[in-house]
Each structure stands twice: as structure tokens, then as C-alpha cells.
């Protein structure tokens, strides 16, 4: 029996298993993040980076292991987990007939955000000049910036970012790096999958291909 | 509550700016019903006899047309993931989306129905009951249709598949919807039929959002 309780990590995963279709993508995956921590997911295409992010959001169910926030199982109270996370996937949900502001305000109001915060987010990502432009006229990079603006419109402690720099130009990437630094400085946690170089000082790197090897080993052991 | 109003407001705005969807539904409703005088002949007695059935069947088919877009756009642009991840329950989100869908398709059908009733020579005694029955019946069509729309997400040719899934479930609404109008014309009691339509609506109101939410959760996995 332990006399002292170990300091509990904020967001932890143990023995996570991801099965897509009939394929074992990864197995025995573990990570642990404290407040202000960042986890950089790397690995070749198909190694399960997006799946791990969806798993962390609760959109996918792990076939085993546990996922905890402050020691409590995430799926036991998925509703609170949903309220504390913001997931930016590789698609940008921008409606072509709604203006930039309307698009962002919809997602903000869904989480009781204010229009003041939404405007500040648009300014931060350099979209203030486009607020009344319909979504169909935006470039891929501008859509991505609009998607990233959700992170600032409703501040939440857990960011799950899937290839956030895709289609971003250099100044926007720098803006994102600053956003990430500010988020972590205020005690937030980031899980980020990327192929592009991105400054994320002190981030822990999780190489997903190492867990794929374990997955192959596990599936061989089963058969 | 603000979140649900946000969904309702956005879907209404989307439907109004892409007005074609509503227009297509109403035009299909009117045009297809006008084919009947050509098909069965212009005798007023025959047309008046089949008018309640024709109007209801065409309303069912017209409301099928727009079901596919209920979740498809959000599914394709990744918005469904974010709706699922929002702190409000997915069942309530479905309910808000259904309300917007009914306002932009069910309600226009009810508005267009008197035109068809005049056109087909529906006896005047049936007018009020037709509108009342449609007011009770069309929300059920939207709610039941939402289950089908959620189930076929990700499938190819989903629109056709929705029809196959949902049409059999529309039969009770059709039977009691027509019975109410026929009853009114024949001078019989219509209350029981309207009560059953109301009952169907209440059952769909409780069960359909829940079933659709379960199907949507499967779709985003």
C-alpha cells in the first residue's frame, strides 16, 4: 500500500486499443499529461493519429484500457468531457451560404459563447476583414483559420488538434503557435497530430508506429 | 435553450438562403398532384372522390424529397462531429433540426394544400379537416423521416434508401390522415382519427429523436 498518493496527471490514457473495421490500428498505447502539457502525435499515414484524437474526444470507443481526466473515467461522464474539449478535425465545417461571423457565432452559441469573444477570435486569426464574406468565397487556409477560431471563441481546457497547420500560411502558423503557448501557460492541455514542423516547446512526442508494432505482435499472439 | 435556438436559427437561415430546397418540395407536390386529372380523367366526381388520398400521398412523397439534406450536409463537412461533441444532448439537437425542417418543408406543404384541394374539387366540408390533419401529420413525417435520414448516412444513394426505409412507416399517418378528411366529407365523426394522428405525433416526438441520435452516433464512429 502506498502511503502517499501520487500526484495525479490531468489527462491520462492507459492500454488504449483502437480497432477500425477488422484491423488493429494500435494497442497498449499510454500517455499522461499534466496541466500545461502537450502531446505531439507523429507517425506515418494510417498509424492512428486521427483515431487517437477521436478516441480522446469520446467519438470512438477504445476496445480496452482507460482514459481518465483528473482520475475520473472520461466516458462515465461524457457530457462533462464534451464541455471541456474542443476538437479540430481535418475537415472545416464552414457553411458556404453563411458569413464568416455567422459560421463562428453558431458554434460559439452552441457552447454559450459571446459575440465579443467570437470577434476577438476572428481578429486574432486575421479574419476580421472577412466577417461578412460568405463561406463559399473562403480559401482553404481561411476556412482552416475560421475552424481554429472556435478554440478562442469558447475557451476550454482540452484541445484536440488534427493537422491544424494544413493549408495555413507562415504567419497563421506563428499565430497558432502563440495560441498554443498561451493556452498551455493558462494550464490547458493539447493533443496535436501533425506532419509539419511546429514549435511546441517541451511537448512530449508519441510515435504511433511503435504501438502499431505492438498491435501486430498482439494480434499474432491472439492467432 | 440558446443552443437549441442557435441550431433552429442556423438551419432556417440555411434553408432560406438555399431557397431551392423548399421550392422544389412545394413544386413537386403541386405538379405531381396535377398529373392526376390527366391520368384518371377530368370527371369531377372521380377527382373529388380521390382528392384526399392524392393530396396525402403526394405530401408523403414530397416530404421524402428533402429528408436527405437533414443531416447529410453536416455529415459531409464534419459539422456532425462537432454537434455530437457539443455539451447538449444529441436528441435535443435532432429535435431542433426537425423543427427547422418542418418549418421549411411541412408548413409550406400545408400552405399549398388548399390550392390542390380546390384544383381537385375536394368538397368544402373536407377543407378544414384536411388542414388540421396535415398540421398533426406532417410533423410526424419529419420526425420519422429523421430516423431514416440518420440511418443512411454514409451510404451511397442514400436518398433512395431513405424512401424504402421510411415509406412503410408513413402508412399509419396516411390511413388516419385520409380517414379524417373522408369522414368529414361523409359527415362522420373525425375526432377519433385526429386523436390517433395526435397520438402518433406524440409517440414520434418522444421516440424519433432518441432513435435518430443513436443512429447518428453510429455514423460518426
Q: With beta carbons under 8 A apart, name residues in chain A contacting B5.
A: 109
pLDDT, mean over chain A: 88
**Contact with chain B for residue A143, Cβ under 8 A:** no
The predicted pLDDT at position B149 comes to 95
The predicted pLDDT at position B70 comes to 92
How many DSSP H helices and E strands does chain B contain? Answer: 10, 0
**Contact with chain A for residue B85, Cβ under 8 A:** yes
Residue A223 has pLDDT above 70, yes or no: no
Least confident range from A83-92, B129-138, B153-162: namely B153-162
Residue A21 has pLDDT above 90, yes or no: no
Instruction: Give CA angle at B19 (B57, B108), nearest 5°.
Output: 35
Using CA atoms, how far apart are residues B54 and A216, in angstroms rounded to an integer? 61
Whole-Å CA distances, B19 to A137, B25, B104? 19, 10, 9
The predicted pLDDT at position A214 comes to 63
Strand ordering across the sheet containing A38-42: A85-88, A158-162, A189-193, A38-42, A204-207
Q: How far B178 CA lies from chain A's nearest CA (Å)?
A: 39
Least confident range from A196-200, B129-133, B216-220: namely A196-200
**Contact with chain B for residue A98, Cβ under 8 A:** yes
Mutate to test the interface with A, among B85, B91, B104 (most CBs of A within 10 A): B85
The predicted pLDDT at position A148 comes to 94
pLDDT tens column, B1-18: 888 999 999 999 999 998
Cα distance between the two ends of chain A: 37
Q: With beta carbons under 8 A apart, name residues in chain B contacting A97.
A: 13-14, 17-18
The predicted pLDDT at position B1 comes to 81
User: Which of B5, B78, B87 is the closest to A91 by Cβ?
Assistant: B78
Name the grid cell of B186.
361523409
In this prediction, residue A132 has a pLDDT band, given cuts at 50, 70 and 90, of very high
Half-sphere exposure of A99 (CA within 13 A, CB side): 10
Instruction: Tell me the average pLDDT across B148-163.
Output: 88
User: Which of B7, B17, B81 is the closest to A59 by Cβ?
Assistant: B81
**Contact with chain A for residue B218, Cβ under 8 A:** no
Residue B83 has pLDDT above 90, yes or no: yes
Instruction: Tell me the average pLDDT across B147-152.
Output: 95
pTM, two decimals, is 0.91
Using CA atoms, how far apart are residues B151 and B139, in angstroms rounded to an integer? 19
**Contact with chain A for residue B32, Cβ under 8 A:** no
Q: How far A205 CA lies from chain B's nearest CA (Å)?
A: 26
**Contact with chain B for residue A217, Cβ under 8 A:** no
CA-based nearest residue to A203, from A33, A38, A34: A38
CA-based nearest residue to B143, from B93, B194, B198, B209: B209
Instruction: Tell me the average pLDDT across A158-177.
Output: 92
The predicted pLDDT at position A195 comes to 87
**Contact with chain B for residue A104, Cβ under 8 A:** no
pLDDT tens column, A172-220: 999 999 999 999 999 999 999 998 888 888 888 888 888 876 666 555 5
The predicted pLDDT at position A112 comes to 84
User: Which of B6, B86, B221 is the closest to A60 by Cβ?
Assistant: B221
Using CA atoms, how far apart are residues A213 and A26, in angstroms rounded to an integer? 8
ipTM of the complex: 0.88
Using CA atoms, how far apart are residues B122 and A187, in angstroms rounded to an integer? 69
User: Which of A82, A107, A112 is the closest to B2 by Cβ?
Assistant: A112
CA-based nearest residue to B214, from B139, B142, B150, B149: B150
**Contact with chain A for residue B8, Cβ under 8 A:** no
The predicted pLDDT at position A211 comes to 84
Q: Which helix (H) or strand (E) holds A31?
A: strand A23-33
- Tell me which of A1 and B86 has the higher pLDDT: B86
Q: With beta carbons under 8 A apart, name residues in chain B contacting A90.
A: 78
pLDDT, mean over chain B: 93
Residue B42 has pLDDT above 90, yes or no: no
Residue B87 to residue A95, Cβ atoms within 8 A: no
Residue B26 has pLDDT above 90, yes or no: yes
In this prediction, residue B154 has a pLDDT band, given cuts at 50, 70 and 90, of confident
The predicted pLDDT at position A1 comes to 45
CA-based nearest residue to A196, from A158, A160, A169: A169
In this prediction, residue B48 has a pLDDT band, given cuts at 50, 70 and 90, of very high
Please give the residue of chain A at the shortest CA–CA distance from B8. Answer: A106
Q: With beta carbons under 8 A apart, name residues in chain B contacting A140.
A: none
Amino acid at each position: 500500500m502506498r502511503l502517499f498518493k501520487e500526484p495525479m496527471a490531468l489527462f491520462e490514457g492507459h492500454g488504449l486499443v483502437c480497432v477500425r473495421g477488422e484491423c488493429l490500428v494500435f494497442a497498449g498505447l499510454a500517455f499522461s499529461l499534466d496541466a500545461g502539457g502537450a502531446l505531439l502525435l507523429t507517425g506515418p499515414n494510417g498509424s492512428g493519429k486521427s483515431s487517437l484524437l477521436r478516441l480522446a474526444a469520446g467519438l470512438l470507443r477504445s476496445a480496452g484500457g482507460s482514459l481518465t481526466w483528473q482520475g475520473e473515467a472520461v466516458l462515465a461522464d461524457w457530457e462533462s468531457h464534451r464541455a471541456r474539449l474542443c476538437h479540430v478535425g481535418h475537415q472545416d465545417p464552414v457553411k458556404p451560404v453563411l458569413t464568416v461571423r455567422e459560421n463562428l457565432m453558431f458554434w460559439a452559441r452552441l457552447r454559450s459563447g459571446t459575440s465579443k469573444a467570437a470577434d476577438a477570435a476572428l481578429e486574432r486569426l486575421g479574419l476580421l476583414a472577412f466577417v461578412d464574406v460568405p463561406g463559399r468565397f473562403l480559401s482553404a487556409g481561411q476556412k482552416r483559420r475560421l475552424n481554429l477560431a472556435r478554440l478562442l471563441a469558447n475557451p476550454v481546457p482540452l484541445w484536440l488538434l488534427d493537422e491544424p497547420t494544413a493549408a495555413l500560411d507562415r504567419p497563421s502558423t506563428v499565430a497558432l503557435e502563440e495560441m498554443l503557448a498561451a493556452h498551455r501557460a493558462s494550464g490547458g492541455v493539447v493533443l496535436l497530430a501533425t506532419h509539419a514542423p511546429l514549435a511546441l516547446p517541451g511537448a512530449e512526442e508519441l510515435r504511433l508506429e511503435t504501438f502499431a508494432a505492438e498491435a501486430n505482435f498482439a494480434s499474432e499472439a491472439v492467432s | 435553450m440558446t443552443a437549441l435556438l442557435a441550431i433552429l436559427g442556423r438551419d432556417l437561415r440555411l434553408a432560406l438562403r438555399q431557397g431551392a430546397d423548399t421550392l422544389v418540395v412545394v413544386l413537386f407536390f403541386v405538379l405531381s398532384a396535377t398529373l392526376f386529372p390527366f391520368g384518371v380523367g377530368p370527371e369531377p366526381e372521380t377527382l373529388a372522390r380521390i382528392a384526399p388520398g392524392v393530396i396525402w400521398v403526394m405530401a408523403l412523397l414530397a416530404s421524402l424529397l428533402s429528408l436527405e439534406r437533414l443531416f447529410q450536409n453536416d455529415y459531409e463537412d464534419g459539422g456532425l462531429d462537432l454537434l455530437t461533441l457539443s455539451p447538449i444532448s444529441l436528441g435535443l439537437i435532432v429535435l431542433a433540426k426537425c423543427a427547422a425542417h418542418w418549418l421549411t418543408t411541412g408548413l409550406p406543404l400545408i400552405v399549398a394544400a388548399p390550392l390542390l384541394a380546390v384544383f381537385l374539387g375536394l368538397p368544402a366540408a373536407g377543407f378544414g379537416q384536411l388542414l388540421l390533419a396535415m398540421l398533426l401529420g406532417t410533423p410526424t413525417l419529419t420526425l420519422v423521416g429523421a430516423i431514416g435520414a440518420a440511418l443512411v448516412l454514409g451510404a451511397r444513394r442514400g436518398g433512395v434508401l431513405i424512401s424504402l426505409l421510411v415509406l412503410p412507416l408513413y402508412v399509419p399517418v396516411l390511413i388516419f390522415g385520409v380517414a379524417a378528411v373522408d369522414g368529414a366529407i361523409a359527415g362522420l365523426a373525425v375526432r377519433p382519427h385526429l386523436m390517433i394522428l395526435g397520438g402518433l405525433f406524440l409517440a414520434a416526438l418522444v421516440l424519433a429523436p432518441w432513435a435518430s441520435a443513436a443512429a447518428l452516433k453510429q455514423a460518426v464512429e
